[in-house]
């Protein structure tokens, strides 16, 4: 099977799972059932022992629209829902899918025309550290500036 055929299968499964509100793990399992059945267990699902091998397989075939980067090497992130997976990496396709105006075939056909961003672990780590630092500072460090524009109270003396 060529890389182009594998990419088409991955794109179709990704869009189907977006419409069914499935997870990336389910999309990966469905993809491997068609492309590399030896990585799927006898029951048709990915076992814990084959999970790492499945992610390594996804990195080895280097498909577009599935890999992320940690700064030096590529990896496959199979956590979370497909809707979040697509929304983070290509918001335009996510908006097209949410509009509901286009069929699955039309979306799969135009999928290669959009730029997909790879998630970089350094950026995600920095964001999580910022959230953790803000949480540790607590409410005492929060400064609220009261302005007239945000004040919805009215005074009759001011109105006169």
Nearest 5°: CA angle at 16, between 34 and 2? Answer: 35
Q: What is the reported pLDDT for 45?
A: 81
Nearest to 9 by CA among 152, 20, 17: 17
Each residue's pLDDT tens digit, 13-37 = 999 999 999 999 899 999 999 988 8
Residue 65 contacts residue 116 (beta carbons within 8 Å): yes
Q: Which residue, 112, 114, 117, is CA-closest to 8?
A: 112
pLDDT, position 30: 92
Average pLDDT over residues 41-50: 78
Q: What is the pLDDT of residue 136?
A: 74
pLDDT in tens, 65-100: 877 777 678 888 888 899 988 888 888 888 889 998
> What residues are paired with 120 via a beta bridge?
69
C-beta of residue 109 within 8 angstroms of C-beta of residue 102? no
- Say which residues have a Cβ less than 8 Å from residue 128's Cβ, sequence separation at least 6: none
């Amino acid at each position: 099977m060529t890389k182009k055929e594998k990419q088409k299968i991955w794109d179709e499964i990704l869009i189907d799972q977006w419409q069914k509100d499935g997870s990336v793990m389910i999309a990966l399992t469905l993809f491997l059932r068609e492309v590399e059945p030896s990585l799927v267990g006898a029951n048709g699902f990915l076992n814990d022992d084959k999970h790492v091998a499945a992610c390594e397989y996804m990195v080895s075939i280097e498909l577009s629209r599935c890999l992320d980067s940690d700064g030096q090497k590529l990896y496959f992130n199979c956590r979370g829902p497909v809707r979040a997976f697509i929304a983070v990496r290509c918001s335009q396709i996510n908006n097209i899918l949410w509009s509901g105006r286009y069929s699955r075939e039309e979306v799969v056909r135009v999928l290669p025309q959009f730029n997909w961003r790879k998630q970089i672990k350094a950026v995600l780590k920095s964001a999580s550290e910022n959230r953790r630092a803000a949480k540790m500072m607590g409410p005492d460090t929060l400064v609220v500036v009261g302005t007239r524009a945000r004040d919805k109270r009215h005074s009759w003396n001011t109105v006169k």
